Amino acid sequence: MRLLITGASGMLGQDVAAAATAAGPEPIALARAELDITDAEAVDRVISGTQPDAIVNCAAWTDVDGAEAHEPDALAANGAGAGNLACAAAAAGAWTIHVSSDYVFDGNKRDPYVESDPTNPASAYGRSKLAGERAVAEAAAGAHTIVRSSWLFGAGGACFPATILRLAAERDTLSVVDDQVGCPTFTGHLAAALVELCEAPRPGLLHVAGAGQCSWFEFAAEIVAAAGLETEVRPVPTSEMPRPATRPTYSVLRSEREAPELPDWRRGLEEYMAVRVARR
């Protein structure tokens, strides 16, 4: 199997390439400099030239707050760009795996979101991710899997644990919001699931996120404890730390379908910390 990975220099893309190599598929890993998914002609040319069996789209606009001021740019990457890939993949007979987000929901539920729940994004970023889901579903028809995940973190890029570890080494006290709840998901775990879905495709929409749930405050406290630091982590409401983009207050994802099950987020944190230590 030949597996084309877009956004391959990013945090998730790096782990998908590693997971593919470990599992057997031949990865064709392309960074944005090698393939800009907003360029439809370039996408057609690369996919027709490489003839992959499956595509995992890890390319995305990920700046949640920046999308508020630059929504057209976020839509170009997360919406139209995703559609470009799915259209070219369908023409080449390749399966499309598209990664989406919990931010397509408004967060007003208080029990886990499943695939059949209605979407209602509360931010420009969320709207752009929902546009991508719709573009992929339309372009690739029955030859796609849309995977929604949540609160991604990994050793290959900037992420919440990395930020907390940096700040905790500089400060005696950290304030972290405790009224937003989700499922931290280690990209190493998600990557293996995405490769599995390439080898055994399941059409449609799937929720694949770390097991368990926590607030950002609880996540930060676990990170500080795992690092053996003495920094005090203080819970605060979102109202004390406003951001340009509205975040869902509750975005726990679970599946009502046969989706790959990921380990608990604490296990993901353990593996993340181990990778950080190994890379020093």
pLDDT band at 80 (very low <50, low <70, confident <90, very high): very high
Angstrom CA distances, 72 to 7, 66, 79, 190, 226, stand at 19, 11, 10, 28, 40
- Taken in order of first residue, the domains within the chain and their CATH numbers are 2-154+184-210+252-259 (3.40.50.720)
Average pLDDT for the chain: 96
Tell me what pLDDT residue 279 has: 80
Q: Is the pLDDT of residue 147 over 80?
A: yes
% of the chain exceeding 70 in pLDDT: 100
What single string gives the DSSP state of each residue in 84-119? HHHHHHHHHT-EEEEEEEGGGS-S--SS-B-TTSPP
Q: Are 154 and 268 in contact, with CB atoms under 8 Å apart?
A: no
Neighbour count for residue 24 (Cβ, 10 Å): 10
Question: Looking at the annotation, which residues are catalytic?
Answer: 125
| End-to-end Cα, the chain, rounded Å | 34
Per-residue pLDDT tens over the stretch 112-129:
999 999 999 999 999 999
Pairing verdict, β 214-215 and 181-182: antiparallel
What is the pairing mode between strands 95-101 and 144-149?
parallel
Residue 21 is predicted with a pLDDT of: 96
CA distance 153 to 62: 12
pLDDT tens per residue across span 213-270: 999 999 999 999 999 999 999 999 999 999 999 999 999 999 999 999 999 999 999 9
Average pLDDT over residues 98-112: 97
**Predicted local confidence at residue 276, as pLDDT:** 87
The average pLDDT across 14-39 equals 96
> Residue 94 has what pLDDT?
97
Q: pTM of the prediction?
A: 0.97
Q: Say what the pLDDT of residue 280 is.
A: 72
Segment 9-21 shows an average pLDDT of 97
3-state class (DSSP) for residue 31 = coil
- Rounded to 5°, the CA angle 163-254-273 comes to 30
Closest CA to 5 of 54, 56, 81: 56
| Beta bridge partners of residue 148, listed in sequence order | 100, 207
Residue with tokens 């340009």: 244
